[in-house]
Every structure is written in structure tokens, then in C-alpha cells.
Amino acid sequence: MSTNRIIGIENSENGPVRDIKPKSDFNKRWFALTLAFLFLAGGVTGGVYYFLWKKKQTGEKSRLSSLPDVEESESRKLNPDSLPDSDELKKAVDLYRKGYLKPAQSALQQILESSAENKVKSYALVYLGILADDEGKFNLALDMFSRAISLDEENFYAHYNMAIALRHKGMYREAMLSLDRARKLRPELVEPAILKGELQYRSNDLNAAEETLLSAAGNSRDPLAYYNLGMVYKKAGKFAEAKTAFLSALDYAAAGEVAYKSAAQLGIIHATQGDLPNAKYYLERSISLSPENPKYYYNLALVLYRMGETENAARRLSQAAGLGDQNPETFLYIARLYNELGRPQMAATSLRKAQEMAPQNVLVLNELADHLVENSEWSEAVSILKRILELSSETMARKNALFNLGRVYLSIRDLPAAETSLTRAYELDRTDEETLVLLAEVHRRRGENHKAVTLYKEGLKLNPDNLKLLKAQGELYRDLGLLTEAEESFRKLAEHPLHTEDDVHTAWQFLGDLAKSQKKYDIALSYFQKLEESGNAEQKFFGSLASADTILAAGSPASSALPKIETSIALKPDSEEARILLARILMKIGDPSSVERAEEELTGLISWSKKPALTSRVFTLRGILFYRSGMYRRAVDDFNRALELDPANQEAFENRRTAASRLN
């Protein structure tokens, strides 16, 4: 009799468990490990690249993650004791082990129709069950194993492989019953214990799985048992224990599938914990053990990228792309990292490879559309999005394709096409307020503000917590001069518990400007003070600048505005507006040193400013300074130069007349 073991835990949180079959030298069987995406958290998830054209359901999650571990696993075999004494069975098994599966299946069927002993027929049925299981015909496999057991209740392989088929169907309780019968027949084998641990894991009984696999590993020193134990620990969040188990698996295996997968798991865990040097070490080791696996090169490149080794990361990523992969999604991951590395052409090449491999894969096409939009390749982006719409049958997928088409049309200012796409999207999902935001934007650009207001109100009825809508509504009211309505919208935005930093800064700016225009200077300063206290340098700059201007407008001592404007200039030394306001404050202070400094600031601005309208303002301000100092000729000259740069400068025109009169 013989046994054969195959990797069997098939998701990202598990490791391999071996199936057992008769005969040691059967043809290789492969089971894919279907793995969920493992995000490298901590230090690895920084530098993320966000979906630009996806809906809000994406949750702004990082697109840079470790690749799913989907490589297939070669069976590992144990030498069997013997087969029943049957030449026909031996010939059928010989065909099976050489890979002639159809002839083997035919020979096995002939045994069932012959007058062979029940034990021989039982083994023939086991092989037929294994063939059916390999083809995913699990019900047929179960029928074969049941018939094998009815002919020979002592057939260990029938019981064990029935447990495997039941596992494939998700019938874990029934699989455990079959496995218990198999374990009673061959208690000395470690394979049933490993499979039991897997079934306990799949039933989410992690404590029992840990106990089973810990015993199996301790009794056998089997690297596969340690690997599976590590996966159980990992799912339970026991990362220290998981690392110990994977290290044991790596040490005992030394080479082969369990070894390189253990090294890869150690790399992922260290990366998750932010230990990038150790992550790098183990991922490099996984590559040395499995040099043809493109996913390991990608994951190493991701870690190197986070370590700042961009050239090395690019080299490893190039190796991953060069090795290729059966799964087109691998090239999507590679493209994302190429974008992060600032190599958009390489990203485009990877996306084209994915498209060539899977021209009707909607995920691939969406990713390609993202790239095209990001690079303003509008025509092809529209073509790809239309193709996605054709391929999508589900309502939500079609809605998203239409939504993204609408965004592209809006970007290229094709407002009729944008309205058509977005209207169709809204008809498919009338609960999606995001579509209403874009439809309202279409109407705003057409000047149909009343329609935009109606859509904002409708969207906020659907979701009062949609801050994007609330912000857009407030901005529209502001632009329409409906200040009371705008104030209400921005107050709600500022007070909402879910507001972002950008939301609240926008609200404070508006509320501060509104209070200032209403000459409620103390209230305005309270809002601008909030901006000054922001951790955002841009907001701090704006807050300091606005506070200085408000202090002047309020008639307060100009000297109290000086620290504010100096803070602004320190944050943004090349700001012309800040330096003009500084000159105004210095002129307001009026002492000789302040006036001299004001003239220096204005003269400096005139020498390097490239904006005619702004330079005209600077000449006007310096002309006023000269006029106040009694230098009427120089004042008239500056007012004339201001009008040459901006003939519509009314302040310069009126001041020139006054200065010329005084000069005469």
C-alpha cells in the first residue's frame, strides 16, 4: 500500500496539508493555494498610491500590498507498503504514475467490471476518486470513495481521501468524521494529524488546531506540520510564535516548497511589524530557494522601496516583470510599484502585458483606465471604460463604469456626454449621492446653478453626512453670493464629527472671511487663529496672513500685525501678497526705520515680480509712500508706471492726479 501527500490548506492564512493516496511515485498533482491579499502594514504601507477613479467603496486603501501567494504546490510522497496482488491494478497504477490519465481511468473502470477481488476494486475506486477530485468533480469523488469503503472498510486511503473531497466541498464536520476513521486505521502516520489541524483551522477552532499541529510537529519534526502551525499562529495574531514555527519549518526543510514558503512568511511578518531589514533578509532567502517565483521578487522590491533603496527595488521589480506570471493581476501589482518608483513607462508596459494576457478582465481594464486618466490619455481611457461597460453585467459594475466615464468626460469638458453618463449611472443607483455631486458640477459649469442646488439638496437628503456634498454646496452658495446659506453649510462642515482636516480648514477660511467682510473682526480673528494653530504649513501661512490683514482692517495698532505677517513670510518667503502686506503694515507703523524697510520691500518686489497687475499694485503703494514723504516727482513717476502695467488701476489713476496737483 502507498501514500501520497499534497499541499492542501488553500488560503492566505494557512499552509500546506498533504492528501494521502496509494503509490509513492504517482504523477505529480498540483493544488493552487488561493490566497487573500496580505497588506504589508506598518512601515510597508507608506507611500501609497490611491485609486483616482474608483468609487468611495474603495475606502482610500493602499494599493501597494504584497502579492497573493498563489503558486501551486508539488505533491510530496511517502513510500507505501504494497498494493493488492493484481496485475491489472498494477498496470493501471503504472499508467497513472506516468501521467496517462485517460488510459489509466479506462483500465481502472475495466477492473470494476471484472471479477477482481473486492479489495482490488476498492483500490481502483480510490484512484478513480482521486482523478475525479483532481478535476474538481467532488461529488463524483465522494461517490467513488464511498463505494471503495463499502467494498473494503479497512481501506485507509478511501477514508482519508474522502476527508479531502469533503474538505474541498467545505463540509468540515463530515470530513473530520472520515478522517477519524482513517486515523484509527493508520495512527502512526503524521498526515492525518496535519489534515485534522487544517480542518480545525477551517472551522475557526484555532486553539484545537494549535494543539493538534503542535503535537504533530513535536512527534514528527515534520517541517510541514511546523509550517501549518505557523499559519495558525499567524491567523491568531501570535506573531512571535508564528515566527518560531516558520523558523523551525525552514530549518527542518532546508530546501523545497515548505522552506521557501516559510522564508516568504517570515519576510511578510517582519514587514508587517515594520522590521524591514529582517523582512529583506527572509525575502531574499525565499528568492534563493525559489528563484523563478516573480511574486517573491515583487515583495522584496516593495520592502526595498520602503527602505529607500529605490534603485535596488527597481532592479528586483524588473526581475519580477521579466519572469512573468500566469496571473495577469501580478502585472497590476508590478505596475503600481513602478508608478511609486517614478517609472510610468515601465508601469504602462506591465499594464499592457496584463491586458494582453486578459483582454476581457475587468480588473485589468479598470487599472489600465486609471493609468490612462492619470496621464491624460483621454481618448483611449474613454474607449477602455466603454469596453468595461460592455463586459459588465452586474448593475453596480455598470454603474461604476458609467460614473468613471462621467468623470473623464467632465475632465475633458464634454458636458453633454458627462451628463448622459452620470444620469445613466444615477438611474442604476439612486442611493449614490456621489453621482449627484458630479451631475451638480456639470450644471455649475453650464451656469445652471439652480439645478446644481437642487441636486446638492437631494444628495444631502440621501446622506446628510456626505461632507463632499456639504462642502460643494457651501462653495456654490458662496459663489452665488448667498452668504447666509453658505455660512450655514460651512458651519455644519466645521462642526461635523467626521470632517477631515481639509474640510475644516476650508470652513474656517470662509467663516473668517465672511466675518471680516461683515466687520466682525474679533470673530474673524478667532477663525484665522485656528488656522494659525494648524499643523499644515499652507493653512498656517494663510491664517497668519489673514490675521495680519484683519488687524489692519480693524484699525488696531499696526505693530500688533507685524509678528503675524513675519510668520507668514517665514513660512513662504516668496509670497508676493505677504510682502505687499508687510510693506503696508510698515507704512502704517510710520516711524523712519519702518518706512525705510517698507521702501526696500517694495523696491525688491518691483525687481523680481513677473505679474503685471501685481507689480502695478506695488508701484502704486510705493508711490503713496513717496507722496507721504513729500517726494511728489517720484510719486508721480511710480503712479505712471503703475498705469502703464495696468491701465485699469483706479487707485493709481486717482493718486497720480493728487500727486501731480501737489507737484504743480
The angle subtended at Cα 44 by Cα 39 and Cα 45, nearest 5°, is: 60
Rounded Cα–Cα distance for residues 65 and 367 (Å): 15
Rounded Cα–Cα distance for residues 313 and 306 (Å): 9
CA 313, 317, 320, 321: dihedral to nearest 10 degrees? -170
Among the listed residues 210, 240, 239, the one whose alpha carbon sits nearest the alpha carbon of residue 225: 210
* Phi and psi at residue 24, to the nearest 5°: -85, -25
Q: Which residues of 572-582 are buried (b: 16+ CB within 10 A; e: fewer)?
A: beeebebbbbb
Rounded Cα–Cα distance for residues 200 and 209 (Å): 5
**What is the per-residue pLDDT for 88?**
92
> What's the average model confidence in pLDDT over 570-575?
91
pLDDT digits (tens, 9 = 90+) for 598-635: 999 999 999 888 889 999 999 999 999 999 999 999 99
The residue that leads in pLDDT, 575 or 324, is 575
DSSP 500-557: -HHHHHHHHHHHHHHHHHTT-HHHHHHHHHHHHT-S-HHHHHHHHHHHHHHHHHTT--
Indicate if the pLDDT at residue 77 is higher than 50: no
Confidence of residue 35 (pLDDT cuts 50, 70, 90): very low
- For the ranges 363-377, 492-506, 589-603, the one whose mean pLDDT is highest: 589-603
pLDDT digits (tens, 9 = 90+) for 214-241: 998 888 888 889 999 999 999 999 999 9
> What's the average model confidence in pLDDT over 555-571?
92
Question: Cβ neighbours of residue 430 under 8 Å, at least 6 residues apart?
Answer: none
Percent of the residues in the chain that have a pLDDT greater than 90, as a whole number: 43
- DSSP letter assigned to residue 5: E
Rounded Cα–Cα distance for residues 616 and 641 (Å): 7
pLDDT digits (tens, 9 = 90+) for 298-325: 899 999 988 999 899 889 988 888 887 6
CB 550 within 8 A of CB 524: yes
Among the listed residues 241, 276, 281, the one whose alpha carbon sits nearest the alpha carbon of residue 264: 281
Indicate if the pLDDT at residue 15 is higher than 70: no
**What is the per-residue pLDDT for 397?**
86
Indicate if the pLDDT at residue 248 is higher than 60: yes
Percent of the residues in the chain that have a pLDDT greater than 70, as a whole number: 87
Residue 73 pairs with which residues in a beta bridge? 31
Residue 3 pairs with which residues in a beta bridge? 78
**What is the per-residue pLDDT for 283?**
94
Decide: helix, strand or coil at residue 566: helix
DSSP 574-635: T-HHHHHHHHHHHHHH--HHHHHHHHHHHHHHHHH---HHHHHHHHHHHHHHHHHTT-HHHH
- C-alpha count within 13 angstroms, C-beta hemisphere, residue 319: 19
Indicate if the pLDDT at residue 144 is higher than 90: yes
> What's the average model confidence in pLDDT over 14-35?
34
Among the listed residues 598, 595, 619, 596, the one whose alpha carbon sits nearest the alpha carbon of residue 607: 619
**What is the per-residue pLDDT for 82?**
67
pLDDT digits (tens, 9 = 90+) for 373-396: 888 889 998 999 999 989 988 888
- For the ranges 71-80, 197-206, 280-289, 453-462, the one whose mean pLDDT is highest: 280-289
* Phi and psi at residue 72, to the nearest 5°: -80, 165
Indicate if the pLDDT at residue 498 is higher than 80: no
Residue with cell 525559489: 290
For the purposes of burial, counting CB atoms within 10 Å of the CB of 534, is it exposed (0-12), middle (13-18) or buried (19 or more)? middle
Confidence of residue 482 (pLDDT cuts 50, 70, 90): confident
Amino acid at the residue 435: T
Rounded Cα–Cα distance for residues 370 and 368 (Å): 5
Give me the chain's average pLDDT, please.
82
- For the ranges 2-6, 23-27, 328-332, 646-650, the one whose mean pLDDT is highest: 646-650
Among the listed residues 116, 131, 149, the one whose alpha carbon sits nearest the alpha carbon of residue 19: 131
The residue that leads in pLDDT, 466 or 411, is 411
Rounded Cα–Cα distance for residues 586 and 87 (Å): 109
> What's the average model confidence in pLDDT over 437-447?
87
Q: Which residues of 412-451 are buried (b: 16+ CB within 10 A; e: fewer)?
A: eebeebbbbbbebbbebbeebbbbbbbbbbbbbeeeebee
Indicate if the pLDDT at residue 10 is higher than 50: no
Q: Which residues of 172-207 are buried (b: 16+ CB within 10 A; e: fewer)?
A: bebbbebbebbbebbeebbbbbbbbbbbbbbeeebe
Indicate if the pLDDT at residue 55 is higher than 50: no
The residue that leads in pLDDT, 68 or 264, is 264
- C-alpha count within 13 angstroms, C-beta hemisphere, residue 186: 22
* Phi and psi at residue 3, to the nearest 5°: -125, 155
Among the listed residues 582, 637, 638, 597, the one whose alpha carbon sits nearest the alpha carbon of residue 615: 638
CB 594 within 8 A of CB 587: yes
